[in-house]
Structure 1
Amino acid sequence: MPQLSLSWLGLGPVAASPWLLLLLVGASWLLAHVLAWTYTFYDIVHRLRCFPQPPKRNWFWGHLGLVTPTEQGMRVVTQLVANYPQGFVTRVGPVMPLVTLCHPDMVPTVLCASAAIAPKDMVFYRFLKPWLGDGLPLSGGDKWSRHRRMLTPAFHFNILKSYVRIFNDSVNIMHAKWKRLASEGSAHLDMFEHISLMTLDSLQKCVFSFDSNCQEKPSEYIAAILELSALVTKRHQQIILHMDFLYHLTTDGRRFRRACRLVHDFTDSVIQERRRTLPDQGLDDLLKAKAKVKTLDFIDVLLLAKDEDGKELSDEDIRAEADTFMFAGHDTTASGLAWVLYNLARHPEHQERCRQEVRELLRDREPKEIEWDDLAQLPFLTMCIKESLRLHPPVTMVSRCCTQDIVLPDGRVIPKGALNVKGKSILGRKRGPKHQGEVTSGLYSLLSGAQVRTAGI
């Protein structure tokens, strides 16, 4: 058998064998990849030196934990943008650089890049995948385009108009609860908590045609959605738990899987029940039945949707889009409303003008509820809402990963492989209104009878 000299390893001549050769090849391949990764990493770090960097919290963790999902975290973000108005670079752990662009002249360079150059960054978004599946926020390419076209009818004005009644009813329930709490002596209200329940109540009715009465009594389904939202946010701050196999071993990981099962079981049961009625009723009968009550919910739209080839969405696809709608719609809209109320409370003269505008519109009306056509008749309140969303957009950042070098207007280059987080605001939570109609109709109902006296969010 031929001899293979490994004296350079201190092993001396040994008999060559296929297994030994395979081991050497594997070790060489691994070493080559480690060296290539190391070179790429240091090259990215070197090229990112043109961006300013805030002081690290820790040599190993980098800037992880610098910006927390709290009021103090918002102050930190505000100060960072004040110190670095063009943008800055941070480090999540020892090896993950993030570029944050703040200035409006910089952001479009990345936002307007094609999906091939700046695709969605799945480092953080993938935490949502076990819950939301391949819904629009997580999917890409042809699947995203196909689903986006099929979901377009869900946002047609003729469908959205019927939801105004649902928004009014949900806000009236919340308003009555506030009056009851105030009469019982409550001096402070957590506005965001109450408004979150109101938006969840509205969305359950709009998505599933289901009334859980979650504003007045506990709902296991609603509690699971709130828990999932909190767990995903918490996991972002724990880089060790970014690895799935470790996260699933933790208490939070088990809670996450349990809440996912509960949410999925609820959505699946609604889909299966609705599918059983479709063959019996037929499309025309279903639409006529829905027209009588003036509601065509999101599940109906998804079940009836077909692409250019006549193919329908699978049950898994429908579940993903419905769960996405519940998650993305409730938290963002609640934050948008809470910030509007906060800003109006800080400017009572504008609040009073908004109230008078609403009362003038409803002066000779019974019952006194906002309707779809009224939304265009309240210009000053609309301006206040838009200004609040500009100052405090609930979705404050959009994350992308650069697959090619991107040259910014000032000549600096974001190197290939860097995570790029486009800052959209110096203030606000990572939440934002999905549909302005939901924000506006709910707020109009509030202002028609309530003085905003507290800004607790």
Structure 2
Amino acid sequence: MVLLYLTGALLAIIIGLVLKLFVRWDNTFSKLAKQIPGPPRVPIFGNTFQFVVTSEKLLPLLNSWIELYGHRFLYRVGTYEILGLSNPNDIEAKTVKSVDYDQFIPWLGTGLLVSNGEKWAGRRKLLTPAFHFKILERFMDVFNQQSLKFVDIIKAKFQPGEVFDITPLISKLTLDIICETAMGVKINAQDEERESEYISAISRMKFLQQYRAFRPWLEPSFIWNYFSYGGEEKNLLKILHGFTNEVIKQRKLEHSREANDTDEGKNAENVDGENYYGGKKRSAFLDILLEAQRNGDLKSDEDVREETDTFMFEGHDTVSAGISFTFFLIGNYPDVQEKVYDELCQVFQNDSSRPITMEDIGKLRYLECCIKESLRLFPSVPIVARTIQNNFELDQDVILPPDTLVVILPYQLHRNKEVYPDHLCYRPERFLPDNSVGRHHFGYIPFSAGPRNCIGQKFALLEEKVVVANILRNLKLTSTQKQEELTLLSDIILHSKDGINIKYSPR
């Protein structure tokens, strides 16, 4: 009886503290809520229960709020007061990474995606040389070999006119590329008939993180771990960390073999004042991390792994989504595809197997416009979160208090009629230089924006150009779905619920 009484008293205290927290939070943001429109709130819980939706309903929900309240709206999920933005003028605001990324720490550690302050600045400075032009140029042979191998696999696996989902195949292709270029390890994912265990684990992990983010009661680790989600996450982490640990192990063994062939134990080359390490003179990213560990700039194996995990995730999944949606759109617009093919024929003189060079890439201007327009309509990361650190003046008399969560919406921004009047039309020509004059520089942010933009965006765009060019030199693609038929899932990375179904005919 006493135990029951004590349990009830403890529960009452907890509920009282929670209610006090919510009331204090409401008072802090009450003025802001009067200045910025947003959906009606339920007392105490705000808009929390409106966000308990499947990932396929998230973008439509945000679209409906924009229709009702405009491109700046305020809502609350749990204790988070959230400002949704899809207006380029507002997005220019200076903000930092969101505390929502803390739940990624078990997976990605406190690497470049999650860290802030001095650690973020130090890691950014350390890794920037990995994306130097001359290093990216060394990746061209891998981009070419793997994308031409993809063409051969498609021809061997499917008959002309046969419909298939291209997304899992592109995912294996980009995984092969990221491992061989940035990590220096061949894994031959494209040779596997079944989906990679690593790719499956990433897909499920993205779902769990999205699911948790919109259910505030699951935020505390002890509650998350109490349910089956916590156990499943731990099993997924074994797969994800096991994969990256094996990649790092293989690269370290390669370094050891190279050390036996040299007196100094390493090869170093200066690239415009920046040190580049790696015996193969290719895998800059992981080699820079390992060299930093030897020098003491990174203290532990965990430091190396967290940056490797981050780049493996961001450099594989986002690029895969970008390429898949590019093929979806090009396959829906035969006139656009023919313009791309004509440009390819002019550059390569009808030679469909000659490796693409950096010089060639500079000539493929229309192809670049097609990729940019695809990323406009289907940005790989449709939602980006930031947190206000100090009082920030958004407009005259509109002050954002500290801890305001700012959610930037690239998907809705890129379909903002004020920025793109024909916002639903796939028109690559809009990205030609003359047609881009006057467009707000924050009106197009497929790789985020500001100082914390994607460090690997040059790598990603170069990879996409080579892959798309090599495939379209050899195959004519036709989409079997229309844009309005796609059901989009926003599980951190944007993708289609039913895949990207296409058929091909050989060139």
TM-score of the pair, normalised by structure 2:
0.72
Q: Which whole-Å CA distance do the structure 1 matches of 2:226 and 2:334 have between them?
A: 51
Select 2:202's aligned residue among 217, 225, 232. 225
Whether 1:391 and 2:416 are equivalent positions in the alignment is: no
Residues 71 and 87 in structure 2, CA contact (< 8 A), matched pair in contact too = yes
Measured against aligned partners, the alpha-carbon deviations of 1:317-375 in whole angstroms (never above 9, x if no partner) come to 11111110011111111222222223323332112101111122111657423222211
Change (3 A) 1:243 1:402: same
Partner residue, 2:126: 150
Partner residue, 1:296: 283
Secondary structure (helix, strand or coil) at the match of 2:122 reads: helix
Select 2:391's aligned residue among 388, 405, 410. 405
Deviation at 1:285, TM superposition (A): 4.6
1:270-289 to structure 2, matched below 5 A, reads 270-272=247-249, 274-275=251-252, 277-278=255-256, 280=260, 281=262, 285-286=266-267
Change (3 A) 1:31 1:353: closer
* Worse-matched range after superposition: 313-322 or 323-332: 313-322
Change (3 A) 1:295 1:59: same
Deviation at 1:451, TM superposition (A): 1.6
Residues 267 and 323 in structure 1, CA contact (< 8 A), matched pair in contact too = yes
Q: Which whole-Å CA distance do the structure 1 matches of 2:299 and 2:475 have between them?
A: 43
Q: Which whole-Å CA distance do the structure 2 matches of 1:125 and 1:258 have between them?
A: 20
Q: Which whole-Å CA distance do the structure 1 matches of 2:476 and 2:403 have between them?
A: 51
Partner residue, 2:310: 324
Whether 1:166 and 2:142 are equivalent positions in the alignment is: yes
Select 2:39's aligned residue among 54, 59, 62. 54
Select 2:106's aligned residue among 124, 130, 137. 130
Q: Which whole-Å CA distance do the structure 1 matches of 2:352 and 2:153 have between them?
A: 22
Deviation at 1:214, TM superposition (A): 1.9
Measured against aligned partners, the alpha-carbon deviations of 1:253-293 in whole angstroms (never above 9, x if no partner) come to 212112212322333344345446456456675459x9885
- Runs (5+) with no aligned partner, structure 2: 1-11, 270-276, 416-444, 448-455, 482-498, 501-507
Deviation at 1:378, TM superposition (A): 0.8
Residues 82 and 405 in structure 2, CA contact (< 8 A), matched pair in contact too = yes
Whether 1:257 and 2:234 are equivalent positions in the alignment is: yes
**Could you say which structure has the higher strand fraction?**
2
Partner residue, 1:360: 346
Measured against aligned partners, the alpha-carbon deviations of 1:420-452 in whole angstroms (never above 9, x if no partner) come to 212233178998684211111111112111222
Change (3 A) 1:230 1:207: farther
Deviation at 1:227, TM superposition (A): 2.9
Secondary structure (helix, strand or coil) at the match of 1:393 reads: coil
Partner residue, 1:380: 366
Whether 1:369 and 2:369 are equivalent positions in the alignment is: no
Partner residue, 1:206: 181
Whether 1:437 and 2:413 are equivalent positions in the alignment is: no
Whether 1:234 and 2:211 are equivalent positions in the alignment is: yes
Residues 147 and 470 in structure 2, CA contact (< 8 A), matched pair in contact too = yes
Deviation at 1:151, TM superposition (A): 0.7
Change (3 A) 1:342 1:274: closer
Change (3 A) 1:31 1:53: closer
Secondary structure (helix, strand or coil) at the match of 1:408 reads: strand
Secondary structure (helix, strand or coil) at the match of 1:105 reads: helix
Change (3 A) 1:173 1:85: farther
Q: Which whole-Å CA distance do the structure 1 matches of 2:413 and 2:168 have between them?
A: 20
Deviation at 1:81, TM superposition (A): 2.9
Q: Which whole-Å CA distance do the structure 2 matches of 1:171 and 1:273 have between them?
A: 24
Change (3 A) 1:172 1:79: farther
* Worse-matched range after superposition: 77-86 or 244-253: 77-86
* Worse-matched range after superposition: 374-383 or 399-408: 399-408
Identical aligned residues as a percent: 28
* Worse-matched range after superposition: 212-221 or 138-147: 212-221
Residues 200 and 330 in structure 1, CA contact (< 8 A), matched pair in contact too = yes
Deviation at 1:91, TM superposition (A): 2.1
Q: Which whole-Å CA distance do the structure 1 matches of 2:467 and 2:49 have between them?
A: 37
Partner residue, 1:4: none
Residues 48 and 414 in structure 1, CA contact (< 8 A), matched pair in contact too = no
Change (3 A) 1:366 1:62: closer
Secondary structure (helix, strand or coil) at the match of 2:187 reads: coil
Q: Which whole-Å CA distance do the structure 1 matches of 2:312 and 2:219 have between them?
A: 24
Change (3 A) 1:338 1:141: same
Change (3 A) 1:282 1:394: farther
Residues 65 and 237 in structure 1, CA contact (< 8 A), matched pair in contact too = no
Measured against aligned partners, the alpha-carbon deviations of 1:1-50 in whole angstroms (never above 9, x if no partner) come to xxxxxxxxxxxxxxxxxxxxxxxxxx99x989975763343231342222
Deviation at 1:65, TM superposition (A): 5.3
Partner residue, 1:197: 172
Residues 278 and 284 in structure 2, CA contact (< 8 A), matched pair in contact too = no
Residues 74 and 427 in structure 1, CA contact (< 8 A), matched pair in contact too = no
Residues 46 and 75 in structure 2, CA contact (< 8 A), matched pair in contact too = no
* Count of aligned pairs: 419
Q: Which whole-Å CA distance do the structure 2 matches of 1:67 and 1:391 have between them?
A: 25
- Runs (5+) with no aligned partner, structure 1: 1-26
Secondary structure (helix, strand or coil) at the match of 2:191 reads: coil
Partner residue, 1:3: none
Measured against aligned partners, the alpha-carbon deviations of 1:168-215 in whole angstroms (never above 9, x if no partner) come to 23223333333344318742x333333222212211222333332223
Residues 332 and 431 in structure 1, CA contact (< 8 A), matched pair in contact too = no
Change (3 A) 1:347 1:182: same
Q: Which whole-Å CA distance do the structure 2 matches of 1:426 and 1:67 have between them?
A: 20
Change (3 A) 1:428 1:343: farther
Change (3 A) 1:263 1:340: same
Higher-Rg member (1/2): 1
Q: Which whole-Å CA distance do the structure 1 matches of 2:472 and 2:352 have between them?
A: 17
Q: Which whole-Å CA distance do the structure 1 matches of 2:20 and 2:222 have between them?
A: 26
Change (3 A) 1:177 1:71: farther
Q: Which whole-Å CA distance do the structure 1 matches of 2:65 and 2:386 have between them?
A: 20
Residues 394 and 428 in structure 1, CA contact (< 8 A), matched pair in contact too = no
Q: Which whole-Å CA distance do the structure 2 matches of 1:376 and 1:268 have between them?
A: 37
Change (3 A) 1:216 1:236: farther
Partner residue, 2:490: none
Q: Which whole-Å CA distance do the structure 2 matches of 1:292 and 1:417 have between them?
A: 46
Deviation at 1:139, TM superposition (A): 0.9
Matched letter for residue 119 of structure 2: K
Measured against aligned partners, the alpha-carbon deviations of 1:40-86 in whole angstroms (never above 9, x if no partner) come to 43231342222111356998472555485645433333343343333
Whether 1:245 and 2:222 are equivalent positions in the alignment is: yes
Matched letter for residue 142 of structure 1: E
Partner residue, 1:100: 84
Matched letter for residue 51 of structure 1: I
Secondary structure (helix, strand or coil) at the match of 1:89 reads: strand
Residues 167 and 438 in structure 1, CA contact (< 8 A), matched pair in contact too = yes
Secondary structure (helix, strand or coil) at the match of 2:190 reads: coil
Change (3 A) 1:410 1:198: farther
Whether 1:119 and 2:103 are equivalent positions in the alignment is: no
Whether 1:75 and 2:60 are equivalent positions in the alignment is: yes
Root-mean-square deviation (Å):
3.6
